[in-house]
Structure 1
Amino acid sequence: MKVQILTAEIGSTTTVLSAFSCNASGKLSFLAQGESYTTVIENDVTIGIERALIELKKRLKDDKLDWEVFIASSSAAGGLKMTVHGLVYDMTVRAAKEAALGAGGVIKLVTAGKLSERDLEKISKIQPRLVLLAGGVDYGEEETVIHNAGMINRLDRSIPLVYAGNTAISDEVREIISPTGREIYFVDNVYPRIDELNVEPTRKIIREVFSRNITRGPGMEKIYLIANKPVIPTPAAVMLAAELFSNTYNDVLVVDIGGATTDVDSVTDGDPEISKMLVSPEPHSKRTVEGDLGVYVNAHHVIDYIGEKELRGEFASFDEIVGKLSPYPTSDEASRFSARLGRYCFETSIRRHAGYIRQIYGPTGRIEIAQGKDLTAIKSIIGTGGLLSRSRYTRQIMENARSLSKLHSKELLPGPDIRIYRDRNYIFAAIGLISTVDASLATDLIDSSLEELR
């Protein structure tokens, strides 16, 4: 059997292969999926791919499988470890952080102001695969950025640098960095003027650097031999799919609950009235990663947050369930337990992603200001990831999204009239991948693969 497109999502927990072909009307449709544990621990991720391929063949009922296009995304082995350094945290540092997260970077350290010797020690211990240097609006402050460039130049020369700061001193930064032979990329300033963010150029180059660096993962070089496009970060693929969805359906929020993290992507400018109250700008497309909210690898954190006593009261076989916690539950009680953790991850991650309104006292008295991402204009929420795509309890996990704004009135949360969808085939990241090949084919999948939960 020959399929048109085969996608691979190599995650921290599982590896998923999805097959697609055009139907009689010329629209791309999902055929089947195969899945296996990711085999980083076996020092070769292609072992997991081969096992997933066996499962895919079984579901297609064909021992032979070929494809026209093979594309892949990855978040295995921790993704692209980064450190981010800027001038003022609430301005250039935050803008640089938004760019890094939106591109799928895993941020291990963020600093504001002049780098110190202790900061260099921390960066060296982290061993990042990329350093992002920003700072200053265009033609603004220069001294801090020049100092930081000199400090970064003392790090291991194999670590690439992206410069997304004050463009007026790009030549000075180049003169500092270039003689050492360090790989350096210059992009437009992420914060060119007060109250203006410009994150897309930085996001693009980070995705490109990820693509080159991911080949260092165990077995990834084999993927590059057969892939038709560079491997991109799975979180970046999810963001691409969210933006594609928003082109037709407007303001959207995507929640991806995984074994280790819960990622939230929003594509919205928010309410115009709230925008007037914002103390600093927010990107149109924003991503946050909650590294403590996962239903398997980080389940112990979520159990602590909910309360072990409370969970023991809800689940008679608590100890047995926790001891055998897996992405593939073997009983209904285990499925309900995963869903219980998932509900906490779902609600908490949305609240952390959202901004809020607070009151301050100014010269004219008490006034209200808004900080963070405004989600009040969100019209649709999409649930993806293994749990939300496959659990029989997805509706129970997601339905409380409609009541969050009432429970937390000072937070900029979606309202009660939102539409809730499930990525029923677990292909949302694959849709983002396919959009890099053909956006119209990816749009076909958006329309056919999302199940509305009423």
Structure 2
Amino acid sequence: MSYALFTDIGSTFTKVTAADLEACRIVGRAMSPTTIFDDVNIGFQKALALLTEQVGHPMEFDFRLACSSAAGGLKMVACGLVPDLTSEAARLASLSAGAKVLKAYAYKMTDTEAKELTELQPDIVMLSGGTDGGNSEVMLHNAKVLADCPLRFPVIIAGNKSAAGEAARLIEEAGKEAVVCPNVMPEFGKLNIEPAREAVRKVFLERIVDAKGLRELAEKMDGDIIPTPAAVLDAITLLSRGTRDEEGIGSLMAFDIGGATTDVYSVTNGCPVYSGAMLKGLPHPAAKRSVEGDLGMRWNARTIVALQGEELFAEDAGVTVEELRQTLDVFDKTPDILPQNEAMEKIDVALAKSAAKNACERHAGHLEVVFTPLGERYMQTGKDLSDVKWLIGTGGPVITSKDPAAILSEASFSEQEPLSLRPRRAKCLLDAKYILSAMGLLSQKLPDVALKIMKNELIEI
């Protein structure tokens, strides 16, 4: 037998997964509370012991790989010139690298924004602005603001190449690390986020792994520790596109609905399919990730309810307003609690449905009607997800639900919102064993095997 071990160090739980590389199957999975404030190795060893107990015998692993979102994950701030262009490009690059984007600034940063930046305490800042040969003034102004900030975060410079060297000099003279990479938007409307994504990953390995207390664990692994969301994006990209020898399953979306955030991933070109529609603004990457920090099922339960209103939410959930209010009080006090009664189960399902619906609506593109001399036309902003073939559900609330398909179906197109470009005819898959991050790690070494395991383990519902 040939086995591999995959570890996902989350903020709450450390999860370990063992895969049989020859049979292309998952042979065991276990988890234990993450011990981030003591030593992450303690939680890792406890999870590994539980895995060994589950399998029934000790295993020798060909290799071990790990990802992490512990201690808040990778926290980034993006700075750019125009909100819908270079600032958005920097934000998309940061998200694709697996970061949680705390804030995206545009234009010249003000004194108030500089103070806010200090309060946010990012791990990394991405500085962009201007196409190559274009505006330099804003990026250099913001470089000076970053240099003057008392925090010692590394800065990834991915803007106008004509100003990048001077921006790096300003930041380095302030005692901060500056990493220069190609512009995230070298030409108007053209994205180039992959070099910036790799720069983020490199800085994460060199600086953040130590800062998060992961160095000792990293030395036990046979590859780099990467941010967990980046591993998931790698997995779904592989599942969609396939390899030279193994066919992928086509365009897809994945929803990771958690207690603190809802993450959405999509792999599809997103080009306009609506007759006569024209693309407006920055084209979004084919492999895209978004994070909704106000759609966590525990930490933001009240926010999710407020989107619909207490009475309507309670009616849709099949509970009374009083039961809803009591449950929200419980979630406030114990955000890690699992449903304890029928009313709480119904509210949990309703929260997950609302999170999926609203997160997909924000992730998907939309149409707007404009009037031209030639008549009525449609303008598309963002990605058209109408033709997406698969919706994949992962995360505890979806995996443990009695009806995960009902949750995922909320992400589908609605006649009540005809201009929202959500999937129209997608089928659903369930990541019941929570393997996407593990398979993203495996894709670094054995992509064909990772793809086969996902095809074998994901369940159509």
- Using the TM superposition, give the Cα deviation of residue 294 of structure 1 relative to its aligned residue in structure 2, in angstroms: 1.6
Question: Is the contact made by 1:43 and 1:218 (CA closer than 8 Å) also made in structure 2?
Answer: no
Cα 1:320–1:185 shift into 2, 3 Å: closer
Q: Secondary structure at the match of 1:32?
A: strand
Corresponding residue of 1:278:
279
Q: Does the C-alpha gap of structure 1 residues 111 and 218 become closer, same or farther in structure 2, counting only changes over 3 Å?
A: closer
Mapping of 1:19-418 within 5 angstroms?
19-22=18-21, 26-40=22-36, 42-62=37-57, 64-156=58-150, 158-216=152-210, 219-247=213-241, 248-274=248-274, 277-280=278-281, 281-310=283-312, 314-315=318-319, 318=324, 319=326, 323=330, 326=336, 328-331=338-341, 333-402=343-412, 404-415=413-424, 417-418=425-426
CA distance in structure 1 between the partners assigned to 2:438 and 2:74 by the alignment: 19
Deviations 1:311-358 (A, max 9, x none): 556236553686266464455554443222111111111111111111
Once residues 57 and 30 of structure 1 are traced to their aligned partners in structure 2, the CA distance between those partners, rounded to angstroms, is 14
- 1:450 paired with 2:458, answer yes
Aligned-residue offset at 1:422: 0.7
Comparing 221-230 and 344-353, the one that deviates more: 221-230
Alignment check: 8 A CA contact 1:405 1:414 kept: no
Give aligned pairs, total: 445
Which secondary structure state, in structure 2, belongs to the residue aligned with residue 381 of structure 1? strand
Stretch of structure 1 that moved more, 29-38 or 96-105: 29-38
Change in Cα spacing, 1:333 to 1:68, as seen in structure 2 (3 Å) is: farther
Contact 1:134 1:190 in 2 (8 A): yes
Cα offsets for 1:283-310 (capped at 9, x unmatched) = 1111111111122233232233344445
Worse-matched range after superposition: 227-236 or 360-369: 360-369
Which structure dedicates a bigger proportion of its chain to helix?
A: 1
Indicate how the Cα distance of structure 1 residues 213 and 258 shifts in structure 2: closer, same or farther if over 3 A, else same.
farther
Tell me if structure 1 keeps the 8 A contact 2:114–2:149.
yes
| Superposed CA offset, 1:116-161 (max 9, x none) | 2222211112121111110111111112112222222112362101
123-132 vs 169-178, which moves further: 169-178
Give, in whole Å, the separation in 2 of the partners of 1:376 and 1:311.
27
After TM superposition, give the deviation of residue 65 of structure 1 in Å. Answer: 4.3
> Shift in Å at residue 216 of structure 1?
4.1
Select between 421-430 and 269-278 the one with higher mean Cα deviation.
269-278
- CA RMSD across the alignment: 2.4
Query: Does the 8 A contact of 2:259 with 2:335 survive in 1?
Result: no
Tell me which amino acid in the other structure corresponds to 1:162.
I
Is the contact made by 2:34 and 2:40 (CA closer than 8 Å) also made in structure 1? yes
**Residue 440 of structure 1: CA displacement?**
1.4
> What is the alpha-carbon distance in structure 1 between the residues aligned to residue 298 and residue 211 of structure 2?
22
Residue 245 (structure 2) aligns with: none
- Structure 1: segments with no counterpart, 5+ residues: none
Q: Is the 8 A contact 2:255 2:263 kept in 1?
A: yes
Which amino acid in 1 is paired with 2:69?
S
For residues 57-79 of structure 1, give each alpha carbon's deviation from its aligned partner in whole angstroms, at most 9, with x where no partner exists: 232123x3442322111112111
Q: Give the Cα–Cα distance (whole angstroms) in 2 for the partners of residues 321 and 157 of structure 1.
A: 37
Partner letter of residue 287 of structure 1? R
Shift of 1:92: 0.5
User: Which is worse superposed, 440-449 or 393-402?
Assistant: 393-402
What CA deviation, in whole Å up to 9, does each residue of 1:210-258 have, x standing for no partner?
2333334554222112121121111111110111011112211111111
Query: SS where residue 287 of structure 1 aligns?
Result: strand
SS at match of 2:148: coil
State the distance in 2 between where 1:169 and 1:81 align. Answer: 25
Letter in 1 for 2:435: I
Contact (CA 8 Å) 1:270, 1:378: kept in 2 or not?
no
TM-score (norm 2): 0.89
**Structure 2 CA distance for aligned equivalents of residues 283 and 164 of structure 1:** 17
- CA shift for structure 1 position 406: 2.9
Distance 1:49 1:309 in 2: 44
Letter in 2 for 1:7: F
Alpha-carbon separation, structure 1, partners of 2:337 and 2:343: 14
2:385 and 2:291 map into 1 onto residues whose CA distance is: 16
1:433 aligns with 2:441: yes
On the 8 A contact 1:139/1:167 being kept in 2, the answer is yes
Measured against aligned partners, the alpha-carbon deviations of 1:389-414 in whole angstroms (never above 9, x if no partner) come to 23222122123444x24332111111
Contact 1:336 / 1:393 at 8 angstroms: preserved in 2?
no
Q: For residues 47 and 27 of structure 1, what CA distance do their matches in structure 2 show?
A: 31
